[in-house]
Structure formats: C-alpha cells, structure tokens
Amino acid sequence: MTRCGLLALAWLVGAALQVGHAAVRPRVAEIAVENLSPVPVDDSAVRAFISLKEGGEFSRSALAADIRSLEKSGIFSYVQATAEELPDGIRLIFRVKARPRLRNLVVEGAHRLSERRIRRLLKIEPGDPVDDAVIGAAIPAVRDAYRKRFITDLRIDWQIKLVPRTALADVILKVREGSPAVVRVLRFEGNRIFSARRLRRVMKQKRADFMSWLTRTGVFVEDQLEEDRAAIRKLYLDAGYLDVEVGEPEILRRGKYVDIAIRIREGRQYRIGRVSVEGAELFSPAELVEKAALPSGAIAGYAEIMKAQRRIAGVYSAAGYLGTRVTPDLDTRPGQGVVNVVFRISEGTKVFVRNIHIRGNSRTKDKVIRRELAIFPGDPFNEQRVRLSERRLMNLGYFSSVRGYPTPTAEEDEYDLTFRVEEQETGQLMLGAGFSSVDKLVGFVELSQGNFDIFGWPYFTGGGQKLKLRVQVGSKRNDVEVSFIEPWFLDRRLALSLDFFRHDRRFLSDDYDQRNTGGSLGLTWAVGSFFRAGVEYALEEIHVYNLAADASQLIKQEEGRRTKSALTFSLLRDTRDRVFIPSRGNRTRLSATVAGGPLAGDTDLYEVRIRTAQYVPLWFDHVFSIRGMAVVVEEYGDSERVPIFDRLFLGGAHTVRGFRYRDVGPKDESGEPIGGKTAAFLSFEYAVPVAEKLRLAVFYDAGMVWPDAYEMDTDLNTSFGIGVRLDLPHFPLRLDYAWPIETDEFNDQPSGRLSFVLGYSY
C-alpha cells in the first residue's frame, strides 16, 4: 500500500473512532448541592425540579433546562450549575441561594391605609418565598394605593429577619407616609394660541377641585409630567407650530400643595409649501403626491403630514410591496412661514400570500375566523387588508387581542400570513335588579354565549353563533326570552335569527293587562358596506285581560285573545363609529309590516315606519344628536279597526320626555290613552362629558300621535330638559328631568317629570 493510502486509512480509522466516541453520551456520575445562603435547603428540594438523574445521560441542553426550572420555581434567588468531568462520568454541582418562607409580616407606621389593606396589596401570604426582590416587586401596588389618596411623598423600607435554624423569616415593613401632595396651581407662560384651559385638557396631570374627594383628581404624579409635555407639544405640532418648545415644568411645593408652571415658546405657524416625492420608481411621483392629499397653503399640522405619509405607504401596501418605507423630510422656511415636504421612499418588493395560518384558537373553529378575513392565499400582501381583518376579528368579541404578521418562506416573493389570536370569555351569567320610571322594580337573570355552537357537544362553544336566555320578573312585568343567531347561515354572509318570547306587561295601562306569546324567524344580509336588508316572519298570540270594571267601551272591545301573523321587510343603514355612545355617523331603519290577509291570523293591518338618528361631533368631545321617527298603521281587508296593542303611543323616557308613559295622543272619555294610527317624534340632544363614564345633556323633544292614518297637523307636545348619563358596563343609567312646553288637546298642562332607565338609546 502506498504512503498516501496508509494516510487515508489512518484518517478514516481516526474519524470512525471520533464518531464512535461522540455517539456515546457521558453519564451523570454524581449530583451535589451547595447551599450559598443561611437558609437551610434539603437536597430533595433541588432534585425535585431537575430532570438529570445520577446514572442517566448528560446533555448541556438538559442542564440549561434544569437551571431554568429551578429559577422558575420561585424557591431560589440564585442558581448556578457546573459540570466536572470524572473518570466514570460527569459530576454536577448545583449552587443555590434559597429564599426563606414568610412566617410573619408586620406593618409599622401605616395610618391612611390599614395593615390588612397593605397585606392584600402585597399579595404575600405566610409560607410564600420572600427576599428583597420579591418584596420590591410587590411594593408598587402599595404606592399606587397611596397615590390615589394624594400621598406621593412616601417612603417604604423593609427588613427581613431570618428565624434561626429554620427556613422561615419575619418581614417588617416600615411605612413613612408623609403628607398628601395636591396640585393647586397648574399654569402656563408664553401661550397665546391655546388657552390654559385647552392645554390642561390634554394633560393627565389635573388640578384639584371641589370634586377631588370623589373623583380622586389632582393628586401630584411627577412622573406624569414628561408625558404631559409631549401631549402639549403634539397639540401645537398638529396645529402647524413646528418650532414649538415646551420647557421643563417648574415645581414649587408648599406644604401639601404643589404649584406647577410650564413655559412654552410657540414660534410661528407654518403652512404647506411644495410637496414632492423622491425615490419612487414603481409609481409616478405625481400620482403619489396626489394620493398624499396635502394641498399647498394648508396648515402644516404634523398629524396631517403623517396621514399623508400613511396614504402614500398605503399605495404600496395595497399593491403588495412589503417593507416599503416612507419618511417625511420637513424643510421649514421661518421667514416665509412655509414648510416644504419631501417624502423619501425606499421601495420594498412585491410579495404574495402563500398560506394563512391561525394560531391561539383553542375553542373558536378555524372557519369562524377565516370567513371574516379580507385577504386570501394568492392575494398580494396588502397590509391594509390585514389590518381590516384584525378589526373584523376583534369586532366579533371573541378575542382580547388579534395580530396578523408575515413569515418568510423559501420563495422570495411569497410570505405566509399568520393571525395569532388570544381568546377571551364569551359567556356571561348576569343576575341583577333595577328600577325605572316605566317598569318599576324588576329582577332578572340572563345567560348568554356570544360564541355558541349548537352542535359543539359538550361545551357548545366555538361556532360563532349567539344564544341568549333571559328571565325577568317585576312588579309591572314578567318576561321570558330565548334568542338564537347564526350569522353565517348556509356558510354565507346571511344572518338567521330565531326568537321565542312570553311578555306579560302590566304597565301599559291602568285599565288592562297584556300578554304576548310567540316567536319569530328572520334573515338579514349585507348590502354594500353600510346597509343591511332583512325579512322577518312573526307569529304571536296577544291576550288582553284583567280589564277594569270602569274601562271605556273602546277598551272593553279589545278583551280576549287574538293571533297575529306578520311579515316585516326592513332596510338598515348604519355608519356610526360605535354601537354604544356613538359620536358621529347615522343609523336609519326603514321597515314595512303586513299582518293578516294571505298570512292568516285575526289581525289585518299594515305598518310603515322610519326611525333615524344622526350624531355630530363637536369641540372637546361634545356630541350633538338628532333622533326622529314617523309611523303609520292602518287596517285593511276584514278588519274594522287597528287593535289597541298595534296602535301608536308616545310619551315617557324613550320618546317625549316630560309626559307620562304613552300619555301623548288620543284618550277615551275617561282619560285613558287609546293610541292612534299616525305618530311622529323628533328629539335634539347636546351631550357633554364631564368625567370618565359620566356625561351631562340638555335636550328638546317634540312629538304627537294622531287618531287617523296619514292625517297630521301642527298640534304638538314639546318639552325641554336636562339629563345625566352614567355609562357603567352592563349598567348604563339615563336620568332625565323634563318640563313640558306645549301640550295637545288630550293633555292638561302637566308639571315636570323625572324619568330614568337602564340601557342605551338607539
């Protein structure tokens, strides 16, 4: 064999030996525990959290995992491990510092917070591991509680005393409360464009006022001032004052009071000069400047400039050019009062969506999520559609967070799109009681599931359906309601609704009671972006009973049971920004109902109804709203009259306030409301937010009910009033007091009336 052959053979033998040696993993010969703290530690406390065992295989990854496991246990404040090679294997040494366990917690010096309250805030119970890090992490909760009581000059120290020959420790918490710090003066220097009141509105730091004892506003939080400086600067920037300077707040403390002064150099206001684009090759600069919609001569508000930047980026995003960066470069000309804006563009590459993955949904079915998406495999990677998909998924109410993000693939022009969702509870059990000026005292229990699955045994969740069961019992009403909605009937954007109900109402009149029992089946579908069309069939039995002996003949003829079979067609337009407490937009519903005739039943009538609400945002989050309604109902065929339960009524908390419920319109000879066939209502309201979840309102209502169909005159009932809106979750309260201004022939001049209801107005 040649020399080269011998060398090659030797190399192969050596490599084989190396591979053979690598294939044999070393064994753990010994595991030792060294305690670096005075707290006693049993070896078993360490071994319980590690996977490596004596006699077992050793690996560096397993050792790293064991260290993490010991750290996460919370028992040890320090963990270190070393591996020593021995002839018969590996010797592992775990060096740890054990945390003592709490025996007693003593709080000294606390007066404005009780010791019991501080213990609850710390969330450290006897038997829990404690050290400086654990206590230090719990202290901010105590500081926050004191801050809400206007105390920021607070000092908290603690001492950990080990109990000899045990693994226990006593903690002594020493509190020096100091005096409360309240902002008395919050003033500005150099401000001409914006008033001090306007500047204070954008700040989170507030002055104390006569309501501070209730609202807790006015507490001095020094850390908040830096954020407030940025908010003031943004206010000026958005108004075109691009050179504005907001100085460091000057803080003067006088006892428990704090005076704050902020100096502002406003500079001059700029207007847009020349707008240009650099770096664009895929789209013409002229086209992008047009899309920016930033006209020359307009006020150079920084927010508007950033909107223009996003509009240009949106052009690339809509075409699938991922990674495009658009940077506005502002060239200010103080002498001319103009700013030239150059949008510098770094163009990305066009990519397409390969696959869409859904992550994080343990209950909600994939198809329930995918059917709401606005982007699909094969589409250009349009970030605007990704954001739209996120909003759609959040609006379902099933998730606390939704995030869509791209993931590169082996192909440069293809990305996978992942939507990661975090599910939240969608079922509710509500028990409550309430009181209103119409219903009087009521108690209710309601079970609802917003992500119901009728075939999803055994948990019945994840199918995207909605189910609600409600039972309400009161002094003036008893109700049982069951409703079910399938928003994607037959896997189409077609909502199927089923409702069953039994309403026993004793508040409608002093002369009779009424019970409605029945159900309905409806279908609604989207028509464009803001419209929904619907059709609904309802079948119910109406029982008028318990008539007063002195009731008029008009009411006595309504006694007994009737069946109503009706078909309703509707068209809804909704452009509101929010379903509850909207600040802009319109909601209008037009409906036509036909009962009886070919649909059978004991009632032959038709009804045409339009209801609308317009919301207009004003300054400082004030909202002006206009609500209106017009209805006509008339009998046909074999019916000689419109039954009293289908007649129209106005008055009360939901329509013309200042008048009793259903008291506007025709009455019989004894003064009992009997309703009419034509009704119209109009309301103007101006709402002002005064605190979080609290609004005040002034309003003017006008309306009338006329006896005959299509017959109207100018004889109206009008009222003026003031109201309070308390927007608490699940418990919104509207409280109104109204004074009648004009009354019709059926009403004596009534005095002012208080009305209050639970719920929102639509």
Higher pLDDT, 243 or 745: 243
Q: Is 359's pLDDT higher than 80?
A: yes
Mean pLDDT of 356-374: 93
Give 586's Cβ-side CA count (13 Å radius): 10
Strand pairing partners for 156? 175
Residue 541: the pLDDT is 95
The domain defined by 25-98 folds into: Ubiquitin-like (UB roll) (3.10.20)
Q: What share of the chain is helix, strand, coil (3-state, %, to 5)?
A: 20, 45, 35
pTM of the model: 0.64
Q: Is 435's pLDDT higher than 70?
A: no
pLDDT above 70 coverage of the chain, percent: 93
Mean pLDDT of 548-559: 87
Confidence of residue 168 (pLDDT cuts 50, 70, 90): confident
CA 621 to chain centre: 18
Higher pLDDT, 577 or 409: 409
Residue 302 burial by CB count (10 A; 0-12/13-18/19+): exposed, middle or buried?
A: buried
The domain defined by 508-758 folds into: Porin (2.40.160)
Residue 486: the pLDDT is 95
Helix axes 115-122, 132-147, angle to 10 degrees: 120
Q: What is the mean pLDDT of the chain?
A: 87
Q: Is 23's pLDDT higher than 90?
A: no
Shared fold status for 271-349 and 508-758: no
Mean pLDDT of 356-379: 93
Please provide the CATH number assigned to the domain covering 271-349: 3.10.20.310
The rounded distance, in Å, linking the Cα atoms of 568 and 592 is 6
- For the ranges 147-161, 425-439, 553-567, the lowest mean pLDDT is seen at 425-439
Residue 380 burial by CB count (10 A; 0-12/13-18/19+): exposed, middle or buried?
A: middle
Q: Please name the residue that has the structure tokens 């409608």.
A: 508
pLDDT in tens, 716-752: 899 999 999 988 766 778 899 999 998 877 776 567 8
Residue 434: the pLDDT is 63
Domain boundaries, the chain: 25-98, 101-176, 182-265, 271-349, 351-423, 508-758
Give 543's Cβ-side CA count (13 Å radius): 11
Contact call for residues 632 and 608 (beta carbons, < 8 A): yes
Residue 8: the pLDDT is 43
The rounded distance, in Å, linking the Cα atoms of 58 and 147 is 53
Q: Is 538's pLDDT higher than 70?
A: yes
Residue 573: the pLDDT is 94
pLDDT in tens, 294-317: 999 999 999 999 999 999 999 998
Q: Is 269's pLDDT higher than 90?
A: yes
Residue 485: the pLDDT is 95
Helix axes 383-395, 302-318, angle to 10 degrees: 100
- For the ranges 126-135, 214-223, 340-349, 659-668, the lowest mean pLDDT is seen at 214-223
Measured between its terminal Cα atoms, the distance across the chain in Å is 99
Higher pLDDT, 563 or 477: 563
Confidence of residue 4 (pLDDT cuts 50, 70, 90): very low
Which residues, other chains included, contact 210 with Cβ-Cβ below 8 Å and sequence gap of 6+?
none
Confidence of residue 169 (pLDDT cuts 50, 70, 90): confident
Beta strands 271-278; 338-346: pairing state: parallel
Contact call for residues 479 and 509 (beta carbons, < 8 A): no
Residue 111: the pLDDT is 81
Confidence of residue 337 (pLDDT cuts 50, 70, 90): very high
- For the ranges 340-349, 382-391, 435-444, 575-584, the lowest mean pLDDT is seen at 435-444
Q: Is 339's pLDDT higher than 70?
A: yes
Mean pLDDT of 668-691: 91
Q: Is 20's pLDDT higher than 50?
A: no
Confidence of residue 585 (pLDDT cuts 50, 70, 90): very high
- CA triplet 493, 610, 721: central angle to 5 degrees? 120
Q: Is 578's pLDDT higher than 90?
A: no
Higher pLDDT, 522 or 143: 522
Beta strands 76-86; 321-322: pairing state: unpaired
Residue 622: the pLDDT is 92
Q: Per CATH, is 101-176 categorized as 3.40.50.2300?
A: no
Q: Is 9's pLDDT higher than 90?
A: no
Q: Is 133's pLDDT higher than 90?
A: no
Where is 260: in which H helix or E strand?
Answer: strand 257-265
Quick one: 182-265 is in which CATH superfamily? membrane protein fhac (3.10.20.310)
Residue 211: the pLDDT is 67
Q: Is 201 helix (H, G, I), strand (E, B) or coil?
A: helix
pLDDT above 90 coverage of the chain, percent: 48
Q: For 318, phi and psi rounded to 5 degrees?
A: -65, -30
Residue 34: the pLDDT is 87
pLDDT in tens, 176-214: 887 677 888 999 999 999 999 999 999 988 888 776 655
Please provide the CATH number assigned to the domain covering 351-423: 3.10.20.310
